[in-house]
A and B are shown apart, each in its own frame.
Chain A
Amino acid sequence: MNNAVVVFLLIVATASFASLPVDLTAVDTPNDGGKAITLSWKSIDSIQMGDSLIGLSLMRTTANADTLREITTFTLLDSMYVDETDLENEIEYAYILRAQFPSVVEESNEATAISRIQWFNKERSAVLGAVIIFTTLLISFTYHASKGREMFIRRIAGLEAVEEAVGRATEMGKPIMYVPGISTMSDVATIASIQILAQVAKKAGKYATRLTVPNRDPIVMTVCQEVVRESYNQIGRPDLFNEDDIHYVTYSQFGFAAAVSGIMMREKPATNFLLGMFYAESLILAETGNATGAIQIAGTDSDAQLPFFITACDYTLIGEELYAASVYLSREPKLLGSLKGQDYAKAVALVLIIIGTILSIAGFPQFASVFK
């Protein structure tokens, strides 16, 4: 018999006569990518043996390993640990806690566990449910809309102003400035803004009013160029397109703000559209625009910037109104359908909030905890 086996048997032997009553348990750490085992026990403090504790260490071994290994040490208050030290999946590990007291060393019961890879994170079940319900709603409404079913969208205040604002620029013979926010193309606000830009470009194109679009994000710039070019093509004025009017300024937030304010002061556009995702520069742009006497139509889903647009602009699209506006103006059936889907998802959320609140009041908070 070699030493390793002796040691292993020794552990098993001591474990069966556990003198450290901490109820050590070991389980595979749930919802993870494997290579982790979660251990828990009653803290030494809680079993009132803490006064004389000198050291507490976690020991680990496997059936075919040749050593007993110290993994880490604890204080008397600890009661939980996740072991990730050189663990392999699908191997059984045995653990004991070893406590050093002035005259004796005592050991806990032995706990074993096998670490495995999980294929599904159960903590995210509610989110999965939400994704499924939401996807179904959205696809079915989009499908019905594309089949030509009539869908009602309420009027959105401020949208009539778009036409008026473009007309005003034409009368004054001054350009229109359109700022599609300063965020990236994966931001919904940016996408909504670009859909509105397509409509604004068509209206401006009809009167041959110059439209300038300064950009902070280079990807957004390329998309804006395409969209404006296409709008001009659709109304038969491809000659109006000037790539230079839709240009990249700088990626620096305040560099962008400085440049756009400068352009506003110099060119004095008759109308400013500030639609999309904005950050702190929102008020710099809106106040400068206000000082130049421009009509300003703003919209963002950034709750932090909405107050500034509300105070400094003539019309403001609040949050989701920005998304709805893009659909309202384009009237594209598929987009209309998805707005409907979103609306009904919101209704579902609303109903669930009300039900959840009533159940919580009635003493069933379990319902709410499903949404964790």
Chain B
Amino acid sequence: MFRRTIPLIFAFTVGTFMVVQFFIPHPTFLAIYNGVLDWQQVIFGFVLIVGTLSMVRHHIMRLKFRKEGYQYSMVALGGLVCMIAAGIYGGIRGGPYKWLFDYVQMPTQASMFSLLAFFVASASYRAFRARNVTATLLLLAGVIVMLGRVPAGEYIRIGDFSMREVAIWILDYPNTAAKRGILIGVGLGMSATALKIILGIETSYLGKGD
């Protein structure tokens, strides 16, 4: 009862309110709506603490059982502790917290992200091969847009059109059509799942069992 039924009734109430308020401009509804958004934030803050504890546990286990590469777990835990300490003692607007963000977290993240430049090259070399009709279309659309997006694309011509114009046409029409079709389906799927959650048909987010 308290383990499953009441949480589901709770979910139904909160969810239904959020649907209904969408159609009602009354200020009271707006105020409650804003309150709900704030509470969501707070809950997420607490969940993040629990999540971080899980991460700490994971690395402590590695240390405890001297798993391969356990030394690195010390680095991860050390980084975590430093960042929290820097945040608590130096504030989050400047000091060591900002320094660590600017010179450790930011460049590492950006470099990780930029690995994609290498990976798009290796993935396209491997996958963009004219094996069959669909693969050929993937290849052609990819190459045309790749070239059409850089200045050089203006000098390469296909019939009366420059590569850039062809690229834009592909992006504006066939591509928009594909996106729109996916979008409509995903929108329906999204709303369906949301509805199932509110109605208590979809309960996997609560975990199975009672």
- Asked whether, in the complex, the Cβ of A134 is within 8 Å of the Cβ of B188, the reply is yes
Main secondary structure of the interface of A (DSSP, over half): helix
Q: Mark B68-110, 1 if CB is under 8 A from A, else 0.
A: 1100000000000000000000000000000000000100111
Beta-carbon contact of A31 and B25 below 8 Å: yes
Alpha-carbon gap, A320 to B136, bound state (A) = 24
User: Beyond A33-B27, A320-B185, A342-B189, is A252–B109 a contact (Cβ under 8 Å)?
Assistant: yes
Asked if B179 and A303 make an inter-chain contact with CB atoms under 8 angstroms apart, the answer reads yes
Say whether B189 contacts A254, CB under 8 Å.
no
Q: What 1/0 mask marks residues of chain A from 314 to 357 whose CB sits below 8 Å from any chain B CB?
A: 00001110010000000000110011011001100100000000
Task: Say yes or no: is A311 at the interface (Cβ < 8 Å to chain B).
Answer: yes
Say how far A343's CB is from chain B's closest CB, in angstroms: 9
Contacts A244-B57, A252-B109, A319-B185 given; indicate if A284 touches B119 (C-beta within 8 A): yes
How would residues 177 to 205 of chain B score, 1 for a CB under 8 Å from any chain A CB and 0 otherwise?
01100111110111111111101011011
Contact of B208 among A230, A255, A286, A346 (CB under 8 A): A230
* Nearest CB of B to A35, in Å: 8
Residues of chain B contacted by A6 (CB below 8 angstroms):
none
Chain B interface extent, by class: 35 or more
**Cβ B127 vs Cβ A280 within 8 A:** no
Q: Which of B58, B193, B209 contacts A247 (CB 8 A)?
A: B58
With a cutoff of 8 Å between Cβ atoms, the chain B residues found around residue A195 in the complex are 204
Across the interface, which residues of B come within 8 angstroms of A338, CB to CB? 192, 195-196, 201
The answer to whether A118 touches B124, judged by C-beta atoms less than 8 angstroms apart, is no
CB of A257 closer than 8 Å to a CB of B = yes
Whether B47 is near chain A, meaning CB under 8 Å from some CB there, is yes
Contact-residue bracket for chain A:
35 or more
Q: Does B128 contact A (CB under 8 A)?
A: yes
The docked-state distance in angstroms from the alpha carbon of A117 to that of B31 is 14
Q: Contact check: which of A35, A222, A230 meets B50 at CB < 8 Å?
A: A222
A20 in contact (CB, < 8 A): no
Of the candidates B54, B112, B183, which one forms a contact with A221 in the assembled complex, judged by CB atoms under 8 Å apart?
Answer: B54
Q: Is B127 in contact with A312, judged by CB distance below 8 angstroms?
A: yes
Given contacts A131-B19, A223-B207, A301-B182, contact A117 B25 (CB under 8 A): yes
For residue A163, which residues in chain B have a CB less than 8 angstroms away from its CB? none
Residues of A within 8 A of B201 (CB): 142, 334-335, 338
Does B9 sit at the interface, judged by CB under 8 A?
no
Point out residues on A near B: beta carbons under 8 Å: 31-35, 117-121, 124, 127-128, 131, 134-135, 138-139, 142, 185-186, 188, 191-192, 194-195, 198, 215, 217-219, 221-223, 225-227, 230, 233, 244, 247-255, 257-258, 266, 280, 283-284, 286-287, 290, 301, 303, 308, 310-312, 318-320, 323, 334-335, 338-339, 341-342, 345-346, 349
Extra contacts, 6 of them, besides A121-B25, A128-B23, A219-B51 (Cβ < 8 A), are A121-B23, A198-B204, A226-B207, A227-B208, A320-B185, A320-B186
| Chain B residues in the interface with A (C-beta under 8 A) | 19, 22-27, 29-30, 44, 47-48, 50-52, 54-55, 57-58, 61, 68-69, 105, 108-110, 112-113, 115-116, 119-120, 122-124, 126-128, 138, 178-179, 182-186, 188-197, 199, 201-202, 204-209
